[in-house]
């Protein structure tokens, strides 16, 4: 398996690797203001249950440093903060300022604005020192990264020895009947909702295509191992529509 095969694809369109990150940035700049409502509409609220499950697997506790990469509007960071309380040490890092702006507004509404570090940055070249964090999370972010293998190596670099990696992402549905139904729903319904609610069919078309292009469970597990993670494993959610991968830096 060659490294970073996804770098030449923007959804299902072939692109030059050096153009892709800018295109992804454009998508999330456009959808930021409608991102949260669209998540609920597209998934019927199920993304909340997946994120709750993700947090239960992480088992957040006080005294550890958390880094939420592709943290966007804050769903994962807020859940960690909710579990730990005011003493939580959480950094969000995201490529797109507009997504972080929406996240900061949400944090203000919760009275939590000073409880997080908000950093603009790329998962492939994280602006943090080696061995800095105890827990690295990335939720629905990895499939948008131009070079996934580079991002996994960066995750490994910034984690402390003993640090844990957790990724929540769409994955491959194994049941053929469910897979067909899911395909029809995502191909025809989601871009239409995107057009009506967010006035942006193309961005939601990309988001659906990026799900289809994202590596399946086993491939991502192998790529985690190749990046150096031990105990790389995965757990399917909703028959594989989504999946949690985890790994350990020793
Ligand atoms: C689908 S949103 C997920 C947001 C949030 N984690 C959640 O679960 O709701 C994907 C996020 O990934 C960010 N992103 C895309 N490529 C990135 C990269 N190379 N580095 C960091 N963040 C990236 C986008 O800006 C966007 O905020």
The model's pLDDT over 91-114, given as tens digits with 9 standing for 90+, comes to 999 999 999 999 999 999 999 999
Atom 9 of ligand 1, nearest CA residue: 75
Mean pLDDT to the nearest integer, 137-152:
98
Residues 6+ apart with CB under 8 A from 204: 31, 38, 190, 191, 193, 194, 195, 198
The model's pLDDT over 125-137, given as tens digits with 9 standing for 90+, comes to 999 999 999 999 9
* pLDDT at res. 116: 98
d(CA 147, CA 21): 9
* Nearest CA-CA partner of 169 in 50, 12, 76: 50
Residue 198 predicted with pLDDT over 90: no
* Nearest CA-CA partner of 136 in 224, 207, 220: 224
| Number of neighbouring beta carbons within 10 Å of residue 92 | 28
Dist. CA 190 → ligand 1 center (Å): 19
Dist. CA 181 → ligand 1 center (Å): 26
Is residue 57 very low, low, confident or very high in pLDDT (cuts 50, 70, 90)?
Answer: very high
Q: What is the mean pLDDT of the chain?
A: 96
For ligand 1, say whether the CB of 139 is within 6 Å of any of its atoms.
yes
Mean pLDDT to the nearest integer, 137-156:
98
Find the domain containing 153 and state its range.
Answer: 5-248
Is-contact 120 95, C-beta < 8 A? yes
Q: Using N-to-C axis directions, what is the helix angle for 35-43 and 17-31, rounded to 10°? A: 90
Dist. CA 192 → ligand 1 center (Å): 22
Mean pLDDT to the nearest integer, 193-197:
89
Mean pLDDT to the nearest integer, 204-220:
94
Is-contact 211 170, C-beta < 8 A? yes
d(CA 208, CA 206): 5
Is residue 58 very low, low, confident or very high in pLDDT (cuts 50, 70, 90)?
Answer: very high
To test the pocket of ligand 1, the residue of 47, 75, 93, 95 to mutate (highest count of ligand atoms within 8 Å of its CB) is: 95
Count: domains in the chain? 1
Residue 117 predicted with pLDDT over 90: yes
Mean pLDDT to the nearest integer, 134-156:
98
For ligand 1, say whether the CB of 88 is within 6 Å of any of its atoms.
no
Higher local confidence (pLDDT), 1 or 122: 122
Is residue 197 very low, low, confident or very high in pLDDT (cuts 50, 70, 90)?
Answer: confident
For ligand 1, say whether the CB of 95 is within 6 Å of any of its atoms.
yes
Structure pTM? 0.96
Residue 1 predicted with pLDDT over 80: no
Atom 10 of ligand 1, nearest CA residue: 141
Mean pLDDT to the nearest integer, 189-211:
90
d(CA 112, CA 77): 11
In percent, the amount of the chain with pLDDT more than 70 equals: 100
Mean pLDDT to the nearest integer, 23-45:
94
User: DSSP 3-state assignment of 228?
Assistant: coil
Residue 186 sits in a domain whose CATH number is: 3.40.50.150
């Amino acid at each position: 398996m060659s490294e970073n095969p996804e770098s030449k694809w923007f959804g299902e369109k072939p692109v030059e690797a050096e153009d892709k990150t800018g295109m992804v940035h454009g998508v999330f700049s456009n959808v930021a203001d409608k991102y949260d409502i669209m998540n609920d509409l597209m998934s019927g609220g199920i993304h909340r249950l997946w994120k709750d499950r993700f947090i239960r697997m992480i088992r957040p506790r006080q005294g550890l440093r958390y880094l939420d990469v592709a943290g966007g509007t804050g769903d994962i960071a807020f859940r960690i903060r909710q579990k730990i309380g005011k003493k939580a040490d959480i950094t969000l890092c995201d490529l797109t300022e507009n997504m972080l702006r929406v996240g900061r507004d949400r944090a203000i509404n919760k009275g939590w604005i000073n409880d997080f570090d908000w950093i603009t940055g790329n998962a492939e070249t994280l602006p943090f020192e080696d061995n800095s964090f105890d827990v690295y999370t990335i939720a629905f972010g990895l499939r948008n990264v131009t070079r996934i293998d580079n991002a996994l190596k960066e995750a490994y670099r910034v984690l402390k020895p003993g640090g844990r990696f957790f990724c929540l992402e769409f994955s491959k549905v194994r049941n053929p009947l469910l897979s067909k139904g899911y395909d029809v729903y995502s191909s025809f319904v989601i871009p239409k909702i995107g057009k009506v609610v967010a006035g942006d069919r193309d961005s939601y078309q990309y988001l659906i295509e990026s799900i289809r292009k994202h590596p399946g469970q086993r491939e991502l597990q192998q790529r985690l191992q190749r990046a150096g993670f031990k105990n790389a494993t995965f757990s399917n959610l909703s028959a594989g529509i989504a999946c949690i991968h985890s790994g350990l830096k020793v």
